[in-house]
Amino acid sequence: MSDFALSRVGCWTPSLDFVPTSQARELAAELESLGFGAIWIPEVAGRDPFVQLTHILSATTTVIGATGIMNIYGRDAIAMSCGVRALTEAYPERVLLGIGVSHRNLVEDLRGHAYGKPVETMAAYLDAMDAAPYFAQRPTTPVRRVIAALGPRMLRLAAEKADGAHPYLVSVEHTATARQTMGSGPLLCPEQMFVLDSNSEIARATARAHLAVYLTQPNYLRNLRRLGFTEADIADGGSDLLVDSIVVWGDVDAIVTRVKAHLDAGADHVAVQALVDGKRPVPLEQWRELAPAIAEL
């Protein structure tokens, strides 16, 4: 990965979906100017991530556009391969494809597909991507891809068949375990939620509001139990122990300390996600306040 200039810190945000495309482009340019080396965007049922990444990359000059995370049930392996090749050809070494198996309820209930065994399904999908035909102008640089890996088997697959892993909703302890499982070579890019507020009651309330949807998803729950959290920790919006392990809150120094902890535990890159109150807000103030300290990492 020596030619792939992935910075130590990036910005993970769904907010670019919540504004007009023209404003999303302006926000992407500001995030780049603030020093965030990558912009990570999710996929559920918003703008197509390849379309959104095209807007982000065309509005910036060096930032890496990353998906966190594209659902492999949303497009077959040929469609995924063609999309990422086209984008990589247009923007060499500036695209990082993050893909995952999602969760059974989101695949079967929302999309109407049959949910397969996660590791086996992902392995077959990666093989199919590798074998996919492509009749357009080919990229001059490799396609870069990471897997939304949580458990040991998926982490090993990320090391064997991809460029690494993008674990979401994880603690520093998970980062250390993931690095040990994958070895020293593959990329490890955990996501880290933060609340820039030193009032414990307000900060934890904000964190719990955002964690609520994730604490209903089976794969995340399985991983939290694997990390040692009990049913009591998971219930009622999450215990203080769980909330504080997954979401860092406090002043800028507190946020930076947690990011450093991930890096010290073996992360190559940390994708920070600002959590704020309100309906679909753009956390511009939080990005601006955090940026100078992040730039020094």
Domain spans of the chain, in order of start:
9-195+248-294
Alpha helix positions (H), the chain: 21-34, 49-58, 77-90, 104, 118-131, 152-161, 172-182, 200-214, 218-226, 231-234, 240-246, 252-264, 284-294
pLDDT along the chain (297 residues), means of 10: 80 97 98 97 93 98 97 96 98 97 72 84 98 97 98 98 98 98 97 98 97 94 96 96 98 98 98 90 96 92
Tokens of 175: 């980062």
Go through 92-122 and write b for each residue having 16 or more CB atoms within 10 A of its CB, e for each that does not: ebbbbbbbbbbbbebbeeeeebebbebbebb
Q: Angle formed by the axes of helices 21-34 and 284-294, to 10°? A: 20
Q: What is residue 2's predicted lDDT score, i.e. its pLDDT?
A: 44
Q: Tell me how far apart the alpha carbons of residues 45 and 52 are, in angstroms, rounded to a whole number.
A: 13
Q: Tell me how far apart the alpha carbons of residues 170 and 191 are, in angstroms, rounded to a whole number.
A: 7
SS3 68: coil
The class level of CATH for 9-195+248-294 reads: alpha beta
> Would the pTM of this model clear 0.75, i.e. be above it?
yes
Q: What is residue 111's predicted lDDT score, i.e. its pLDDT?
A: 77
